[in-house]
Every structure is written in C-alpha cells, then in structure tokens.
Amino acid sequence: MTEKVNLLSLSPKKMADFFVELGEKPFRAQQMLKWIHQLGEDNFDNMTNMSKALRAKLAEVAEITLPEIVLEKTSTDGTRKWVMRMPGGSSIETVFIPEKDRGTLCISSQIGCALDCSFCSTGKQGFNRDLSVAEIIGQVFVASKSFDVPGERRERKITNVVLMGMGEPLMNFDNVVDAMDIMLDDFAYSLSKRRVTLSTSGVVPMLEKLGDVSDVSLALSLHATNNELRDQLVPINKKYPLEKLIPAVKTYLDKLPDRRKATIEYTLINKVNDEMEHVEEMAKLLKDVPCKINLIPFNPFPHSGYERPSNNRLYRFRDALHNKGFIVTIRTTRGDDIDAACGQLVGQVEDKTRRQEQYIKLKELTGTVNKHV
C-alpha cells in the first residue's frame, strides 16, 4: 500500500499539483489550505464544501497528521509554550510571545543543531534530524488552534513568526522554504513577508540561495565582532567568516523590494563579547548594513562556562551602540514561570522521558514493569 500524503506538508504549489493529480480543479487546493490552516480542520468529513466522493477519495490517499503535543504551558504574562514530540521520540519547542501590538511565534526548524555554537544549549544537544514541512508548519497550526474559541471566528493572535527556535533554518532549506510559503499564502496563514523572519548563524551560500526564492525578513545571529572570537562562539564562522557573511547579508537586503532592516542578534556574555572594543568593532562591521540590534543577555545553563553580564555592563553596551547611531533593543525575558527560555522545557520533558526509560529498564530487569510513572 502506498503511503498517504500528509496534506499539512504541502506548499500551495504542491497542494495544487496534488489535486490536479487527483483529477480535481486547482481551486480545491485553496479550499484545502483554508480548511487546514485558517480553520484548523484536520478531519475530511467536516470539509463540507467538498463532495462526499472527493472526501472519500481523500481519506484513501491523504491524511492530516499533526505533531503530538506533550506539554502546553501558559505564563502569567501570556507567553505560551509547547513541547511537541516528533516521530522517533525527540522533542521540539515552540513559544508564543504576546506583546501590545503583535503576537510572535518562535518555531524550530530542526531537532537539535549541528552548528554547535558554544553559548547555545540546543547546540550542546547535538544534531538529531531536520524537521519535515509538516513538522515545521504543524507548530504554527497547533499554536493558532490553541487560541480558537468553539463557535467563534478565529481571531488572529499570531501576527509574526520567527524561525529562531531549535536549529539552523538554512541547513533545512527546502522544507523551511515550503513552510514559509504556507505561512505567507493568502489561503493559509496570510502573514506579511515583513513579519516572517528567518534567523541564521551565517550559512552564506544558502543565504544567497534564499535571496533567489524568498523575500522574508532576515535576522543574523552575530554574537561576535571579530573572526577570532566568532570562530569560538559560532564555529560556522570558520567556514564563512565575517568578510563573506556581512556582504551576503547586504546583498540579501538589497534584493528585497522594500527598505527593510536586518535584525542583528547579539548574545551578550560577561567579559567575553561585551567590552567597549566590541562596540567599536561592531560599529565598523555594520556601518553599511541597514539593521537594528537586539541584545540578548546570556541565559546561563549548566556547564556552559559563561555568565550573564551585570545590568551595568548591559546598559553600558547598549548606550555605547546608541551613541554610534544604532537602533538597539534588549530582549526581555518572558514566561519565566514556565521556563520559556530556549531549551528549558525540552530539557525537562526529555529528563522525565529519560527517567521513565531508566525506570522501565530497571523494572523490566526485576520483572515488575509499570509504565505509568
């Protein structure tokens, strides 16, 4: 038996091809995108504007399979976080951050990450695998649906999506591009290209390729202002050093049809990259790059070997950049009461899973297994 197609994974173009192959008109693709992504429907029986015969045919060849939610927590400040288990057992996390004028969903693109940035807890977990299109867009589906009120029209809570969760999006290029196409499509999430942001650590050839197929907003995980330090903090820099990376960012921005700025992400680590000489270097590096700088105080995790800078050092760094004429923001911590910072919830769930597995192994050995621990 051939495997069923998961319709959640189909970009608008692939959805149209799928219906044409079924002998249907392309407008069925738009109907299906609307059912899935705008109405949150995953049951063909409820798709009442499709004939019974078509629904029966769909049930034979297709399915809508969603990620399994293992944890959903909402903070007192409205931040919401999900841990989703993927086939194979690993988990990813997705965070929704509400603000006055927008709601931002931060999604993952890979399970783990191969780039091994020295200050990143995801990097320390190593690389497991790429997420499929369905697993990437499934995070947007789950988050959008969580705000639905039965019987009421869906309110748009998610206005922005940032690919800043687990993984390097450009290392999972095709799936990420298809998922972003779904986010932008008028019959799906209909997000503005300005409000979908891909964050990269600097995979230069892929960034160049992205400019050929997409015009979403760009964030660059810079984190260091010279090659020597960046080689240590963001090892992909050894392959694509700053003198290649910065021009590639400029070229990407130049190709955009509007005058959009890149977001420069800079994790401030105490006495590592937060000295005044780094401000000087950053000013030189970014002098011709239309950008705003987002400072992220390092969020300590066990055995990282790094510390969060004091507020004095943080503000001193911010003010010095301001004085150089940059727009600078400091990322505030949200959802503290639900461990919403990157990697914390997955750590908890995986620790529990590991404990359960160890317990089951022990009990199997002693012959008294009880899986409900």
Task: Supply the minimum distance, in Å, between the C-beta of residue 117 and ligand SF4.
Answer: 3
Residues forming contacts to ligand SF4 in the complex (CB under 6 A) are 113, 115-117, 120, 122-123, 166-168, 201, 221
Task: Supply the minimum distance, in Å, between the C-beta of residue 169 and ligand SF4.
Answer: 9
Nearer CB in complex with ligand SF4: 134/166: 166
Task: Supply the minimum distance, in Å, between the C-beta of residue 146 and ligand SF4.
Answer: 24
Eight-state DSSP code of residue 193: G
Start-end of H helices in 324-367? 344-366
Task: Supply the minimum distance, in Å, between the C-beta of residue 291 and ligand SF4.
Answer: 18
Nearer CB in complex with ligand SF4: 54/204: 204
Q: Residue 3 is encoded by which pair of tokens?
A: 């495997």
Task: Supply the minimum distance, in Å, between the C-beta of residue 168 and ligand SF4.
Answer: 4
Q: Residue 130 is encoded by which pair of tokens?
A: 């790429």
Nearer CB in complex with ligand SF4: 29/249: 249
DSSP 245-295: HHHHHHHHHHHSSS-PPEEEEEEE-TTTT-SHHHHHHHHHHTTTS-EEEEE
Nearer CB in complex with ligand SF4: 96/119: 119
Beta strands in the chain (DSSP E): 5-6, 62-63, 68-74, 80-85, 91-98, 103-106, 110-112, 127-130, 160-163, 196-200, 217-221, 262-268, 291-297, 327-330
Beta bridge partners of 330: 295
Catalytic residue among 93, 135, 168, 265, which?
93
Nearer CB in complex with ligand SF4: 64/233: 233
Q: Residue 267 is encoded by which pair of tokens?
A: 């994790």
Nearest one of 129, 200, 192 to 168, comparing CA atoms: 200
Nearer CB in complex with ligand SF4: 19/266: 266
Task: Supply the minimum distance, in Å, between the C-beta of residue 166 and ligand SF4.
Answer: 6
Residue nearest to ligand SF4 (CB): 123
Residue 106 bears catalytic tag: no
> Could you give the C-alpha distances from 17 to 13, 146, 186, 223, 234, in angstroms and in order?
6, 30, 18, 42, 40
Task: Supply the minimum distance, in Å, between the C-beta of residue 111 and ligand SF4.
Answer: 11
The backbone torsions φ and ψ at residue 248, rounded to the nearest 5 degrees and listed phi first, read: -65, -35
Helix (H/G/I), strand (E/B), else coil: 146:
helix
Pairing mode, strands 91-98 and 103-106: antiparallel
Nearer CB in complex with ligand SF4: 7/92: 92
Q: Residue 34 is encoded by which pair of tokens?
A: 């609307």
Rg (CA), the chain: 22
Catalytic residue among 117, 120, 291, 342, which?
342
Residue 117 bears catalytic tag: no
> Could you give the C-alpha distances from 296 to 273, 311, 324, in angstroms and in order?
12, 12, 19
- How far is the C-alpha of 283 from the C-alpha of 199, rounded, in Å? 21
Q: Are 168 and 202 in contact, with CB atoms under 8 Å apart?
A: no
* Catalytic residue positions, numbered: 93, 342
